[in-house]
Structure 1
Amino acid sequence: MKLVRFGEVNAEAPGILDADGNIRDLSGVVDDIAGDALSDEVLAKIAALDLSSLPVVQGDPRIGACVGNVGKFVCVGLNYSDHAAEAGMPVPKEPVIFMKATSAICGPNDGIEIPRGSVTTDWEVELGVVIGKHAKYVSEEDALTYVAGYCVVNDVSERDSQLHRSGQWVKGKSADTFGPIGPWLVTREEVEDPQNLSLYLEVNGHRYQDGSTKTMVFGVAQVISHLSQFMSLQPGDVISTGTPSGVGMGQKPQVYLKPGDKIELGVEGLGVQKQVTYAAG
């Protein structure tokens, strides 16, 4: 299934894509694509619906983040060896974890705000993982059963704040609009192997990132199991699993986002995001 949230900011309604690509309104079935609605039981209930009985959403509504009420936005750093190399950092011996403020979350096609004074705002296409049930001390063997679904994430990053402001990566990762998520939450049964998905990112039509989740240092199951040793994971928590090489910081010479740039990114089977950057007021 491809679940979606549509409508104005902070007033999104739940929906599902039908076989023709139409959004069908799920408002009469669940309140939101969030929390308990991400459980195996509720997802099975949605899967059993006759979608033709649900109202078709008319027009061209804004698409919101594909999961609502996110409790934690956890990210994995340097999780592709080629990206670690371009960043000039060693491949980590265990997952490098940092948090991204949930206030950074926005829709997949919303504009990206370049912070005041920033000249080093960068891009990172990533595979996102949405947790479906409480996870604590989870084994790698069982880890994927805790996944509700997968999505596209752009881990937008302000490099100067990330790398030169007291070593706190979260400072460079958490500006408003720095967390586009979606367009869809693709439920886990549709993703046969999360370690075999291509992903790409383009800026102004130039392809900078073109990679595969095959080359992750720590796979999705390893990351979930590892995180669950340090914190419990809750339904709706989002894990962004790292980016392959090709970020702006790694170009020679370096390339960073400026107002008016057009970004397109996608992960195989999970949809495409399109964003235009603008300067903070």
Structure 2
Amino acid sequence: MEVAPRIEQPYRVRFDECGADGRLRSSAYLRYAQEMAWVHSDLAGFDRHWYEERELGWLVRCMELEVVAPISHGDSMRVSTAVDGFRRVWARRRSEFRAGIQDERITAVAITDWVLLGPTGPVSPPQEIRDRFDVVALVPFTPGRVRAVQVPDDARDVSFGVRRRDLDPLGHVNNATYLDYLEEVVAGAGGEDDLAVLPRRYRLEYLVSAEADSRLRARSWRTSEGWRFQLEGGDGTTLCRGQLETEPGLFVGD
């Protein structure tokens, strides 16, 4: 049995998902994209219990989010998900956000690269997953990256601890929360207005998971394309690299 290659569900934007401007927070798009990935997996017969029994789990390694138009508190929107690419231990999902019930205009797009992990590291998906999602028909892709660069001495530099609310059911900081971290440090560095620019594009590469009670160091600095971001653990290990692009002509990956 194959599952539909693309599914879509309606949602209403909640009050607590919006910022002081009344618009859906950037990180909320990623939370919806992640939830829709689980809905799709559940429909295919692969729920959390299925993965736990086999000691398997998908981990986000890179995401790209482009916000084209605002969605505000109380708005209806439709969120879709589809497995858009496959490569050995990797899978790519594309989520599209549309305002209203009938409107076909895309207001945001999220591309997420996942890697499947077993007890000892990355593993190829079991044959039943391959069959259910018909991965043979999917095109290979190059996993997303954020190029490592030298952090300038005048970068905004903030240290803080992982909060209990940052953790997800897997016990580590949720992938969407890293985008909250990016926006907080960018705003503190004088980039508040850039966080409202439309269109704008975010990219995050997740290198090492931040765990409960970890101490974190976040740094951000302005570039010709927008902003760069780097998150490190208490021992100096780079956990995540990110960028915010506010000039459409310079968007990477078009």
TM-score (norm 1): 0.30
TM-score (norm 2): 0.32
Q: Which has the higher helix share?
A: 2
Structure with greater contact order relative to length (CA < 8 Å, sep ≥ 6) = 1
